[in-house]
Amino acid sequence: MIDHNIGFIGLGNVGSKLASNILYAGYNLFIYDLDENTSNELVNKGAIWKNSVKDIIDNTSLIITCLPSPQAVTEVVEGESGMIDYINKKHLWIEMSTTDEKEMIRLSKLIELKGANVLEAPVTGGQHKAESGNISVLTAGKRENFNRAFPILSEIGFEVLYCGKLGNASTLKVVTNYLASINLLSIGEALMVCKKYGIDLKKAYQGIKISSGNSFVHETESQLILNGSFDIGFTMDLVCKDVGLFDQLTNNLNIPAEVSPLMVKIFNEGRKKYGDRALSTSIVKLLEEKCNTDLRTEGFPSRLLDKEQKKKGIEIKP
C-alpha cells in the first residue's frame, strides 16, 4: 500500500522537524498538537491543520505520533476521543516517541484489535539531525509494516535499523538515551578537571575529540556547554523520564545496576533545582556551582547545525 496522506500528532522540538521533512518530500501532511501555535510554521509551508485526533485519522492512512511521555502517548491512543475510537484496518500507526516498552506493547494490541497495524520508530541523533533529515531511526514491529513505512522513514532519517519485534526499538532507544546521559555527566566532570588544572578549554575539547574518549555527545553537547547556551533542545523532564525508564528496566530484569540509580538521583536533583523545562545540558551547572567556576570559552556555537545535505534514508542491516 502506498500512503500519500500522512497524519502527524505532536509538534515539539523534534516532532515539528520530522514533520517538516515529510512535507518537503511532497506528501500531504495533516498535523495536530494540543498547542495549535506549534503548527504555524508547518502550515505556512503547506501542512494542513486538523482540530482533533479524529480529524487526523479520517483524512490519512498513516499516522505518526511523536510525544513527550508514555502518558501522553496513552492519552492520544485511548483517552477521550482517542485513536482507538476511530482507527481501522487501512491505518498504520507509527509511534516515534521515547516510551515504555510494556505500555507500547499494550497499546499496540488495542490498535491491532481494531484491524490497524503498528510500528514503533523512535529517533536518535539530536534536534539538529532531525532538522536536516539525517537522524537515525530505530524500528520494530512486523516486517511488512516496516516495509510499508520505509518510504516515509527514509525521508525522516538517514540510517534506519529494523530491530525485530515490538518493544525492541523502545528498549534500545532508552538504552541509547541512558548512554548519552551518562556521557553528558562524565563530560562535565572531565572538562572541569581540565579547567581546574589550567588546560585551555579549546585545547581540551580538541584533545578529547581526537582521542579514545571522544563521543557523539562530546562533539555536540560539549560545544553548547562551552558556549553557555546549553541549547540542545532537550529538557530536564525528558532526560529524567529516560533515565527513569532505563532504571526501571534494570529493576524489571533483576540487574544489580549501580550507576543507573545514581544517574536518576543526579538528574532529579537538576530537575528540582532548574525546573522541568530547563535544558538537559544544564545538569553541568550543578557541578559548576559546586566548584564555583564555569566552563565557558570562546569559539563555540550557541546552536548546533547539521552541515551535511539530506541523505536518502537507507536500511542498516547488521
Would 271 be classed as within a structural domain? yes
Is pLDDT above 80 for 132? yes
129 with 51, same domain?
Answer: yes
85 with 159, same domain?
Answer: yes
Minimum mean pLDDT range among 94-103, 174-183, 285-294: 94-103
Q: Of all helices (H) and strands (E), which one includes residue 120?
A: strand 117-120
Tell me how long the chain is: 318
181 with 287, same domain?
Answer: yes
Is pLDDT above 90 for 129? yes
**Cell numbers of 35, please?**
498547542
180 with 156, same domain?
Answer: no
Would 302 be classed as within a structural domain? no
CA dihedral sign of residues 276, 282, 284, 289: negative
161 with 16, same domain?
Answer: yes
Report how far residue 18's alpha carbon sits from residue 12's, in angstroms, rounded to the nearest whole number.
10
Residue 167: per-residue pLDDT: 96
Q: Could you tell me the pTM of the whole model?
A: 0.95
What DSSP assignment string belongs to 226-292? HHT----S-BHHHHHHHHHHHHHHHHHTT---SHHHHHHHHHHHHHHHH-TTSBGGGHHHHHHHHHT
216 with 140, same domain?
Answer: no
Domain ranges, residue 264? 171-291
264 with 121, same domain?
Answer: no
Comparing CA positions, the residue from 186, 183, 180, 201 lying closest to residue 293 is 201
Would 248 be classed as within a structural domain? yes
158 with 175, same domain?
Answer: no
Comparing CA positions, the residue from 151, 152, 159, 193 lying closest to residue 176 is 159
151 with 183, same domain?
Answer: no
Would 268 be classed as within a structural domain? yes
| SS3 at position 30 | strand
Would 297 be classed as within a structural domain? no
Query: Which CATH number goes with the domain that contains 59?
Result: 3.40.50.720
152 with 280, same domain?
Answer: no
Query: Which CATH number goes with the domain that contains 199?
Result: 1.10.1040.10
Tell me how many domains the chain contains. Answer: 2
Is pLDDT above 80 for 263? yes
Is pLDDT above 80 for 300? yes
pLDDT tens digits along 48-76? 999 999 999 999 999 999 999 999 999 99
Report how far residue 279's alpha carbon sits from residue 275's, in angstroms, rounded to the nearest whole number.
9
57 with 94, same domain?
Answer: yes
Report how far residue 152's alpha carbon sits from residue 137's, in angstroms, rounded to the nearest whole number.
11
Residue 151's Cβ-count burial label (10 Å; 0-12, 13-18, 19+) is: middle
Would 210 be classed as within a structural domain? yes
158 with 232, same domain?
Answer: no
